[in-house]
Amino acid sequence: MTKYIVKGGTPLFGEVEISGAKNAAVAIIPAALLVDGVCRIENIPQISDVSLCLNILEQLGAGVRSVNGHTVEIDCRRIRATRTPYDLARRIRASTYFIGALLGRFGQAEVALPGGCNFGGVRPIDQHVKGFTAMGAKVTVESGFIRAAAKTGRLHSASVYLDVVSVGATMNIMMAAVMAEGNTVIENAAKEPHVVDLANFLNSMGANIRGAGTDTIKIRGVDRLTGGSYAIIPDQIEAGTYMAAVAAAGGQVLIKNIIPKHMDCITAKLQECGVEVEEHEDTLLVRRTEPLRKTNIKTLPYPGFPTDMQPQITTVLSLAQGISLVTESVWGNRYRYVDELRRMGANIQVDDKTAIVEGVDHLSGAPIQACDLRAGAALVIAALAAQGQSEISCVHYIERGYENIVTKLRALGANIRAIEVPEDREELGLG
């Protein structure tokens, strides 16, 4: 088990290169199942969620060849299996994408009920099921598996109105529909950059998808997707996390390899807090020299402020002058990390979906534990800004979604290192 030891209080200076987007990669890799040819995927982030997805594909029978650390070639032509390995699939939320991809390719799928970050409640998939059912599939849950099968062997088109804006349902239905008969329409679709990236990937392989990035996505079924080459977009949330780290710890950092448009919702809020952000073609220069100011934030589907940045921005606001209100409107309970911030001296009260954040002068280092991916990122930010030493445990959550975070932060002058501790000692908090 790994822990991070962070000596805080050092401003960050330098340049950081943003990796490919996790939430695009974990959809595009299963989508390779639909391709009748070799697809070369570039800008793949080296994170454990991606390794798991590639592993599931290999276990299904795909050829997966690493060209270099960030490029893989995937050949799914010989796959016949439609059941994902139970233990791998249940460890990651994105394994649900294998349902849409297997259904789309074979008309049937068996995938273990997924895991992934736990926000204090069940993460439903009723909207995915609604879409598959409308397209002629029967979906059941048996023995820990979701089983879906097209009643006539092949899915047909449908018009699906999503009752909630769901990234996962939008992407899953899109995958199921690319080779279905006729024209499928998804209304009230999610508009996140990774939704658009999946559509662009599928189109580059021969699909006919229009409207991704708007509320209405139209998919005309095609007979076959052929191979090709595709590069994944940069990770909006990884970039936002480094911006928040500079906001909290101070300093000046050039965030490289980003799409500035994707960052607008985060940039605007950081600027309200007194952080300077200069936009260039594919970089952002982030500088914080003045004290932070309060602001109010409500998480919303894209282009609103992303829920996946909520823990990081709440951490920044815990150091801002005045009282800020943060409202989480995507997930029922995403404030479990707040107890850990309180150990460091943060003054935050949570009332249902709202965090009332009264800024403090400083945070102080403490032993703290990550409870999910973005919560873990928030604790790293808090530890970088805090006075004294923090020990962060359960960092495997962080490594699910942040490539080389320790190396990248060290290059910015942060005093952070990873140490190995025996498993039982970490669980007891003694390591």
Task: Give contact residues for ligand EPZ (rule: CB under 6 A).
Answer: 22-23, 26, 93-94, 117, 123-128, 164, 166-169, 190, 307-308, 330-331, 373-374, 401
Distance CA 135, CA 265 (A): 35
76 included as an active-site residue? no
Distance CA 390, CA 165 (A): 38
Tokens standing for residue 260: 């500035």
Tokens standing for residue 79: 């796959």
Active-site pick, 39, 117, 273, 371: 117
Beta strands 347-351; 354-358: pairing state: antiparallel
In angstroms, give the least distance from the CB of 130 to ligand EPZ: 7
Tokens standing for residue 238: 């990884």
Is the Cβ–Cβ distance between 180 and 222 less than 8 Å? no
Is the Cβ–Cβ distance between 24 and 49 less than 8 Å? no
In angstroms, give the least distance from the CB of 175 to ligand EPZ: 13
Nearer to ligand EPZ, 102 or 366 (CB): 102
Q: Which residue has the tokens 């249940």?
A: 90
Nearer to ligand EPZ, 86 or 331 (CB): 331
Q: Residue 172 belongs to what H/E stretch?
A: helix 167-177
Nearer to ligand EPZ, 45 or 401 (CB): 401
Nearer to ligand EPZ, 22 or 288 (CB): 22
Residues 6+ apart with CB under 8 A from 165: 188, 189, 190, 301
Nearer to ligand EPZ, 31 or 320 (CB): 31
Q: Residue 417 belongs to what H/E stretch?
A: strand 415-420
In angstroms, give the least distance from the CB of 190 to ligand EPZ: 6
List, by residue number, the catalytic residues: 117
